[in-house]
Amino acid sequence: MKKIYKTLRWSILSMSMLAVCSCSDSLDETNISSNTLPESKIDVRFVLTDVLTSTAKNEVETNYKAREVSAGSQYLQRDNVDFYSFYFVWDTKNFNSFYPILTNSQYIYDRAETEKEGDEKKYYQAVSLIMKSYTYGFLTSTFGDIPYSEAIKGEERGDAFVPKYDAQEDVFLGILSDLSTANDMLKGVGTIGIASNADVVFQGDGQKWRKFANSLRLRYCMRLSEKTLTGLDPSAEIASIVNNPTENPIMTDISDNAAVKWVGSASDNSFPGGPLSYTFRSEFYRRKPSATIVKDLIELKDPRLTTWIRPVDVQIFPGATDGVELVDGRVRRNTTVDIAARNADSDLTNDVNTSLFVGLGVALSAPNDYNMGNTVTDVRSGITALDPDIYLGDSSNPHISYLTNIYSENANELSAAMFMSSGETQFILAEASERGWIGGNPVDYYLSGIELSFDRWQIADGASSAVYDEGSDSLVAFDKAAYMANAQSIYTNATDKMVPIMHQKWIAGWLTGEAWFDWRRTGLPELEKNVIQGAKGQDIPKRQILSDPFNEANLTLATGRLQPAVNDPWSLMWLLQ
Amino acid sequence: MKNLINVRSRRSCPPKNNLKIKLTILLFYGALLNISAHVYENSESILFGPEIISSELGALEIAAQQIEISGTVKDVDGEVLPGANIVLKGTSKGVVSDFDGNFTIAVPNAQAVLVFSYIGMETKEVAVGNQTSLEVLLDYAAEKMDEVVVTALGMKREKKALGYAVAVVEAETLNQQPNTNVLSGLSGKMSGVQINEMGGDINAKMNVIIRGQTSLTSNNEPLLVIDGSPVGNTDAMADISSLDIASVSVLKGASAAALYGSRAGNGVILITTNSGEGAKKGIGVSFTQSTTLSVPYNYFELQNTFTTGQKGQFNESSWQYWYGARAGVEAVQWNTDGQPQPLVMYDNSLRDFFQTGLSTQTDASISGNYDRGSFNFSINHMKSDGITPGMELKRLGFSLATSYKITDKVKFTTNITISKPTSDNLPLTNNGSDDIYMDIFANAPHVNINDLKDYWEVEGSQQRRAGALPNNPWFSAYERDRTLDQIRGFGNVRLDIDLLPGLTAMGRVSFSANNEKIESIYPWSYDGFGSSAVKPFGAYEQTKLDERETNVDFLFSYDKKVGDFRINPSVGGNYLNSRNTSLYGGGDVLTLPALYTLSNVARPGLGYNSGVFEKEIYSLYGLASLSFKEMVYLDLTARNDWSSTLPKENRSYFYPSASLSMLISEMTQMPSWVSLFKLRTGWAEVGKDTDPYSINPILNQTFWGNDIQYSVPGSLPNTALKPEVATSYEVGADLGFFNNRIVFEGTWYKTQNRNQIIGVTTSPMSGFSSATINAGNVENTGIELALNTVPVRTANLEWNLGVNFTKQESRLVELVEGIDRIGVGNAGSLTQQTFVGGVIGDLYSTSVLRVESGEYEGWPILNNNGGLTFQKDNALKPKVGKSTNDFTMGLNTSVKYKNFTLSANLDWRQGGNFYSETMKRTSRSGWVDKWQGDAGTFSGILGSNSFNGDGTALANEIKSNPTKYQADNVWVGGRDAQTGGFPYNGFDNGSFWPGVVDNGDGTYAENFGGPGTVLFDAYKVVEPGGGLWDVGSSFMYDLSFVKLRNITLTYDLPQKFASKISAQRISFSVFTKNIMIWNAADIGIDPELAYYQNGGSYDIGKEKWNALPWVAPVGFTINLTF
C-alpha cells in the first residue's frame, strides 16, 4: 500500500508538470481547421465560378422573382395577396446579394496579382474588373449614389465598416475606366484552357470577355448620354468605341451573348420558376405576364408571344348562358355579362378580355379580380370536371395567361440568365446612329437587333403555330419576312424614330432590367399610359429604395442628394436630374 | 438557497438518514403504482434487513460491547425526535432513534461519548458516565450558519465563509414533483436565475440565463458541471434523472465562478449526484415511480364563423378566411364527392387533436457505505407521450458512483452516468419552420378534424387533405417524423491523496460524450408552409453529432492553523480537450415512397457534409482562503488559461478574484434577536476565449451542378482576437433574526463585459455582412433579494414563507468605431437591436407615416390605393418596447397543520414586451377574431352600418375624434355587409384606413369615409405593403405573468394507522404545476414561450407558433416509509 501511495504521489506531481510545459505549440495546430484547405491552396478559378453564378442568381432575382424591376418595365405583374401586388409599393432593398460578387471579384484580382502571370493573370484580372463593373453598374443605376471608392475594404476595419457613398457620376467614371482597362488587358488574350470549366459564361475565351466589356461600355455610355460628366463625353466615347472595332470589339452575334445557363440539378442551380426552386408551385403562377406586353405582342403578330406566354387555360366567350364547356378539346367559359358595357366603364378591374392570350392589368389594386378572376369559384368544379389538368390552385386565374414552360422548368436553354446580349448592342448602335454619334443606318441596326432577338429565342422563319392571329382567334405560322417588313414600315412611318427603336429594344429586353433604365431615360416606350391604379397614380417608380442600416449616416448624406431629398422610389438620382 | 420547507418541517420530509424503507405508491385515477424503498443496515429491517456485510465489518467491535444505554431524543420543546442519529464517538457504530424517539445502544465503557445529531438541529455530545438511561434534548441549529455548499471545483465550503452569492436547491425541493427536465424543478426557486421553457410539449428546450444577458450574440448559456466534470451546456440536464441529484448549486457571479475560467462567463450550474458517501453504513435500496398526466386546458382561440375563401365565396384552395363563406352556404367540399352541401362549422380542431400527455418515471437505486468505501448505483427510465399525437420520448439511464480507500491516505472515486434518450417522433424545438403546428392551426373551420384521421389517400404516397393547404394534421403528426437516437455519457475517475499532514492532492480525469443521430422524415405528398417546405416527393435527412470533451485536472491543497488564523492555499491545473464532429446527409425527392434511407434520396438533390471542431485549453490556478477566528474570511483566486482558439500572442490570459466575508455578529455583541449579521463583497475578472477556427480566413465551398465553387465568407474573421474580459463586483449582506426565523440575503452586483468577441452586422458594402469584433462593454447590474421566514411555529402548525426578488439590466456602453449597434434578431417588421447606450432587449418597429403638422396632424398618410405608408428610413424607426422583465419575484411557502402540508411556489415576472408572430399570421389569414383589445378581423372600429350608412356622419365622427381613430390597429369596414363592409368591386368587403391620401403636392385628400374614400378588400388589413403586417407594434404584447410553478398537498396518515403495517409514515400527495394564474397579454399565448430559436441563438421577445394548448400536469402520490 505504501508503495502504491508513493508511486501515485510522484506520478501526479510529474504528470501535472508535464501537462503544463508541453502546451503552447500544439495549440496552433489544434486551431487549424481540418474541414477546409487553407485559402492559398484553392485556385481562384473556383472563386470565378462563384462570381459568375452569383451574378446569374441576382439577375433572375431582380428580373423574374422580385416585384420591382419587371413590374417597372411591365413585363410581369403579380397577383395573389398583399398590398404590393405590383402596384408600385416598393419595399427597401439592400446590398446583401450584391456585395459578395464585389468582394469575390476583388479577391480574384488580388490573388491573380501575386499568383498568376501572363495571359492567365490578365484574363483573371480583366474578368474580375468586368464582373465588378457589371454589378456596380446595376447598383448605381437602380439606387443612385452608392459606396464605391471606399467599398469592399472591410478588412481595414474601423471606418471601412461605414464606406461613404460616392456621387453617381464618379461611380460611372470608375466603372467605365475599369472596363476600358479590362479591354486593354484582354488584347491578344486567347482562350485560357484551365479556366474553361470554371468560366460558365465564355469558357475561358478572353476575346468574348473583351466584347462583353466593350458592349457594357456602350450600355453605360448610352445610359449617361443625357448627362455632362467631368472628363467624359458619353457620345464621343460611344463613337470612339464603335469606330475602332479592332481595339474595341463588341458583341455582334448571339454566340457573343453573356449568359449563364442553369444546371437544373438542385434548387440553387435552377431557374427559380422550376419545381426544384419553387416547390411551392403557386409561386410560379403568381407571376403573370403584364397586359402591356401581351397586347403589344398580339398587335405585332410577334412569335415571341407564344415563346414566352401560354394561351389562357379557359378562354372567355360571350354566350347565352353562363357556364363552361369543352370545345375542340379546350375548356371555354361562356358568360352572359355585358362585356362591351364593362369594358367601356371607368372601372378597369372589371374589364373582360376574350382573347386567347391575356396579360394581367398593370398596377391593379385588386389584381385577383381581373378578367373575371373574382367569379372563378362559380365555374371551378365545372372546369375540373372537363379538364382535371387545369391548374386551379393558389394564385390561379384560368382566364389569364401564365408564362411558358421555359420558365416553369428547372433548366431550359432559353431561360439562361442574360447579362447582356448582342441584340441589345445593336439597339444601342441604332440609337447612337439615329442621334448621329456614329455612322451606319439606324434602321439596319434596328432590324439586326430584332433578328438577333429571334435568334436568341430560337424562333425560325415558318415556325408553326408561333403567331397568334387575333382576328381569327387562332395560331398561325411565323412569316419572318412579313414581320420584318412590318417592323421596317413602323420605323419608316414613325415621326420620332426613337419610338420604334426603344419599343423593339423593350421587347428584345424581355425579363432583363435594361428596359426600365431606358424608359427612365427616354420615357419610351410609353409605359405610364398602361398604369391603372399605381400607388402614386400613373407614376412609375424611378429608383429602388435602399436600406443600409449599419451605415445610416452615409446613406442619409446620399439620399440628401436626391431630388427631392427623400429615400423614395420616385426621387430622382443624379442620372435623372 | 436551501429551501426552508425541508429544513424546518420535521415531519413533512423524513430525515434521509433515518429512512429504513420508503415505499412510494403514486396512484392516479387508481391505476398507477409507485414504490420507493430505502433500506439501511442499522434499522430493524423488516422487508430486506441485510446485516450481512456490516456484521462482517463490525464483528470485532460487537464482541467488545459491555454497557447497554437506552434513552429518548427530544427537541427543546419536548417533542420526540424519531430518526435521530446516535453514534459512538470515534467509531462508525451507531443507531437511530425509533418512532417514539427511543434508542438503545451498547457502549464499551463509562468513558464513551455519544454523538446525537438530527437534521436542522445542533449536534450534541453526551458523555455516558454512569448513566444507563438518557434523555437528550437537541436544540434547533442556527439556521444555515453551518450550511455547507458546493462551490467551484467541487469544493465544499461553509456558506458563512463565502464572499459571494451561491444559490442552492436541495433534492427535496427539486423533486417536489417529478421533472422530465431537471431545469423545470428549478424555475422560480432562486433569485437571479431565469429559466424559460421554449415550447409547450415534451422535450421543450429550456433556456437558462443567470444574472441577465451578458453576451450579446451568443445564447448566454451557463456551464454545467456534474460531479466535477464540465458537461457543456444545460442541454444535458434534460438527459439526467432528477432523482439522481443530491443538490444543485448555482454560482451566479464571476467571483463564485472565476475558478472555472473562460467557460463560466454566464455562470455555473453545479450538480452533485447521489453517492453512497455520507449514508449510514450498509446497503440501501430505493425505488420510485411517478406518473404525471398533462391535461390541456386552455386553447388558442380560432374563429369558426368564416371558412376558406374570399369575397364570401367558398374556396378550399385558399388559406384566407377573411371573407370566406359562412355556415349554411352550399358548396362542393373536399369530402362531398363533387356534390354541393351546406357548410357546417366545427369548433373542435384543437380540442380533438391534442390529447392528454402521459409521463412515467421509474428510478431505482442501490447504495452502500462501508469503512473502506461506498457506492451508489441507479437506473432510471422515463417515458413521455406528448399532448401532440405521435410525439414521444423515452429515456433510459444508469449512474454509478463509487469511492474506495486504497490506503488510509489514498482514496479512489469514480462517477459514471450514461443516458440514452430515444424517440420515434420528437417535436421540433424551434416552432415556426415547417413544423406540425402550422398544419393544426390552418385546419379550416368547415373541416371536422376527426374526418381526416384516415389520412392516407394512397397508402405511403399520397395524403388525404381538405383543401390545398397545408398538410393533414394527423398525417403530419404520425408520418412526418423526427427521430432521435442519442447516447450521452459522462464520468470521472478521481484520486485523493493525503501527502503530508495538512497537504492533500487530487487528480482527476473526466470525460463527457454525446452522440446523437437525428432523422427528419418527410413522406411523399408533404406540403409544408413556405416555398422550400413543399416536398411532393418527400425528403430524408440524417444528422449525426459526436461531441467529446476530456478534462484532466489536479489540485494540491494545504490547510494550516496558526493561532486564530487559518490558511488554506491550493494550486491546480486543468487540461481541456473538446472535439466535436458532425455528419449530415439527405435531401428532397425520395425515389421510392416510404423508404427513408440516404440511398433513396434522388442523386441531384442529395446533400452531404462533415466537419470536425477541436479545441484545447491549458489552465493553471491557485487559490487561498484565509480566515480569522471564524469571523473574517478572505478568498483569493488566480487563474491563467492558454486557449487554442486565440492567436498565439493573445492566447495566454490571467484573471484574479477576491472575496471577503465578515461575520459582524461574531465580532461584536449583538442584541440576542440578531442571530447572524454577515457582510460580504467580491471582485473578479474572468477571461473568455472563442470558438475553434474563428481567427483563420477560409473560403466557403459550394457546388454549381457538379462543379465546385469557392467564395469568400460574408463574415470577416478577426485574426488578432483578444480574450473577453468580464469584471464583476458584488456586495451583499446575510442577516438572521430571532434564532434565524427571519433570514434575509441581499446582493448587488455589477459586471462589465469588455472586449466581447461579437459577430456584428456591418454595412455589406464594406465587403462583409458581418465581422467579428473584439471590443465593447456591456454593463450588467442587478439586485437579488431573498427573505425566508417562519412566521408561525407551534406544535401543530408551522408556516414557512420565502420570497426572492431579482431586478437586472444589461446596458450596451460602448462598441467599436464604425459600429453603433448590435442587431440581435429581426422578426420582419420588428427589429431586436441595441444601440450604444441602449438596453439589451430593446425592440424597434417600422412605423406608419403620419402627417407632421397642420390640419391633418397625426393622421396616417395613405397612398393612392388607400394603403398605409411606412417609415422606410431605418434610423427613424421608433423603439417600441423591451423584451426583458422589469423584475421577477418568486414566492415559496409551505403550511403544515397537524398531518397536512401544503406547499406552493409562485413565479411572478413583471414588465417587458413580446412580439407575437402567431397573432400576426393568424390575423392576416383571418383565422382569429380579435388580435388585440377591440382590434379584430371581423369588423373595423366602425363600418358601413355605422350612422345608418351615412358616410358623411362617419367621416365627421372620425375626423373629430383624432385621439380615438389615430390609434394603432384602427380600421373601418368589415368582412361582409353584416360585419360592416362597404360595397367594393361587386362585393361587400370594402374597408379603409382613416387617414389622408397624399396628393403629391403638399396637400391631402381626406379618407375618413366620405365621398372619394379609397376602399380596399378587407383582407388587406394585415397584408404586407400597406397593412399592419409591416407594423411590428400592432402585434406587441405585455410579457408580465404570474405562474403557479407547483402546488402540492400532502396528508400524513396518523401514526396508529401507519404503525399497523410497521410503516413509519404513510402520506398522500396531489400536485399540479406551471399553472398560469395571470397574464397581461391575455391572448391565449404563454408569454414565457416568447423565445424563438433562430439558428444557434435565441430571439428573446419573439414568439412564433408557440400557441399550443396550456397544460395542467397533475399527479397523485402515496408515500410509505418503513
- Partner residue opposite A550 with nearest CB, options B409, B645, B761: B761
Nearest CA-CA distance, residue B1037 and chain A, Å: 24
Determine which of B763, B835, B846, B1015 to mutate to test the interface with A (most A C-beta atoms within 10 Å).
B763
Mean pLDDT, each 10-residue run in order, chain B (1122 residues)? 32 32 28 31 34 37 63 79 77 75 84 78 80 80 62 81 84 75 81 76 79 68 86 83 86 80 81 76 74 90 89 80 85 87 92 92 84 90 92 93 91 93 80 70 91 94 82 92 93 92 92 93 85 83 95 92 91 93 93 95 87 93 90 92 91 91 91 91 88 87 91 91 89 91 93 86 92 88 93 87 92 87 75 88 91 94 91 83 92 89 92 92 91 91 93 95 92 93 89 92 92 91 89 92 90 75 67 89 88 60 84 77 51
CB B981 within 8 A of CB B944: yes
d(CA B397, CA B361): 11
Residues in B touching A350 (Cβ below 8 Å): 985-986
Would the CB atoms of B864 and A280 count as touching at under 8 Å? no
b/e sequence B858-887, b meaning 16+ C-beta within 10 Å: ebbbbbbbbbbbbbbbbeebeebbbbbbee
CA distances from A461 to A284, A412, A511, B559 (A): 30, 21, 23, 102
Q: d(Cα A116, Cα A119) in Å, to the nearest integer?
A: 9
Task: Please tell me whether the peptide bond between B470 and the residue prior to it is cis, using omega within 30 degrees of 0.
Answer: yes
State the smallest CA–CA distance between residue A504 and chain B in angstroms: 32
Q: At what angle do helices A118-143 and A99-115 cross, to 10 degrees?
A: 160
Partners of A547 in beta bridges: none
| pLDDT recorded at residue B833 | 86
Closest-CA distance, B26 to chain A, in angstroms, reads 49
- Put simply, the answer to whether B703 touches A269 (Cβ < 8 Å) is yes
Residues 6+ away with beta carbon under 8 Å from A263 = A269, A270, A411, B704, B705
Nearest C-alpha neighbor of B725 from the set B266, B269, B262? B262
* Alpha-helical segments (H) within A320-411: 339-344, 376-386
Query: Are A9 and B702 in contact (CB < 8 Å)?
Result: no
Written as nine digits, the cell of A121 is 493573370
Q: Could you give phi then psi for residue B825, rounded to 5 degrees?
A: -165, 175
CA–CA separation, A457 and A413 (whole Å): 9
The whole-angstrom separation of Cα A378 and Cα B1033 is 39
pLDDT by residue, tens only, chain A of 577 residues: 556 556 555 555 555 455 554 555 678 888 888 888 888 899 999 999 999 999 999 999 999 988 789 989 999 998 876 666 577 888 889 999 999 999 999 999 999 999 999 999 999 999 999 999 999 999 999 999 999 999 999 999 989 999 999 999 999 999 999 999 999 999 999 999 999 999 999 999 999 999 999 999 999 999 999 999 998 999 999 999 999 999 999 999 999 999 999 999 888 899 999 988 887 788 899 999 999 999 999 999 999 999 999 999 999 999 989 999 999 999 999 999 999 998 998 777 788 999 999 999 998 888 888 999 888 888 988 999 999 999 988 889 999 999 999 999 999 999 999 999 999 999 999 999 999 999 999 999 999 999 999 999 999 999 999 999 999 999 999 999 999 999 999 999 999 999 999 999 999 999 999 999 999 999 999 999 999 888 888 999 999 999 998 898 999 999 999 999 988 899 999 999 9
Residue with cell 426557486: B189
From the CA of A208, how many Å to the nearest CA of chain B?
22
| H-helix segments, A364-513 | 376-386, 422-434, 442-456, 480-493, 498-508
How would you class B828 by CB atoms within 10 Å of its CB: exposed for 0-12, middle for 13-18, buried for 19 or more? middle
A365 interaction partners in chain B (CB closer than 8 Å): 865-866, 1016
A-chain CB neighbours of B706 within 8 Å are 265
Task: Give how far A39 is from chain B: nearest CA, Å.
Answer: 5
Query: Which pTM value belongs to this model?
Result: 0.86
C-alpha distance from residue B505 to each of A173, B502, B637, B881 (Å)? 74, 10, 18, 54
- The pLDDT score that the predictor gives to residue A5 is 52
* CA dihedral sign, ordered B233, B237, B238, B239: positive
Nearest to A95 among B699, B765, B1027 (CB): B765
Give the minimum alpha-carbon distance from A285 to chain B in angstroms, rounded to a whole number. 13
Question: Can you give the length of chain B in residues?
Answer: 1122
CB contact under 8 A, B863 and A96: no
Contacts of A4 in chain B (CB under 8 A): 406-407, 410
Selected for mutation to probe chain A from B704, B824, B862, B1028 (highest A CB count within 10 Å) is B704
d(CA B1080, CA B1102): 16
User: ipTM, 2 decimals?
Assistant: 0.92
Hey, are the CB atoms on B709 and A147 less than 8 Å from each other? no
From chain B, the residues in CB contact with A396 under 8 A are 317
Per-residue pLDDT at B1106: 81
Pick from A132, A53, A259: nearest CA to A124: A132
DSSP string covering A245-283, please?
TTTS----SGGG-EEE----SSGGGS-TTSTTT--STHH
User: Testing the interface with A: which of B700, B711, B765, B1028 to mutate, by most A Cβ within 10 A?
Assistant: B765
- Please say whether the beta carbons of B473 and B449 come within 8 A: yes
What is the pLDDT at residue B315? 84
Report CA torsion sign: B843, B848, B853, B855.
negative
Which set of grid coordinates corresponds to residue B189?
426557486
Cell of A451: 433578328
Q: How far is A260 from chain B (nearest CA, A)?
A: 11
Chain pair A-B, CB pairs under 8 angstroms: 322
Task: Report CA Rg, chain B.
Answer: 33
Taking a C-beta distance cutoff of 8 angstroms, is the pair A567, B871 a contact? no
pLDDT value at position B4? 31
Using a 10 angstrom Cβ sphere, with 0-12 exposed, 13-18 middle and 19 or more buried, the burial of residue A344 is exposed
CA distance A243 to chain B (A): 37
DSSP string, B120-138: TB--EEEE-TT-SEEEEEE
Question: Which of A92, A94, A374 faces B764 most closely, judged by CB atoms?
Answer: A94
Q: Which chain A residues have a beta carbon less than 8 Å from that of B318?
A: 394
Taking contacts as CB-CB distances below 8 angstroms, the residues of chain B near A31 are 615, 644-645, 692-693, 695-696
B642 and A276 within 8 Å at the Cβ level: the answer is: no
- What is the reported pLDDT for B1093? 58
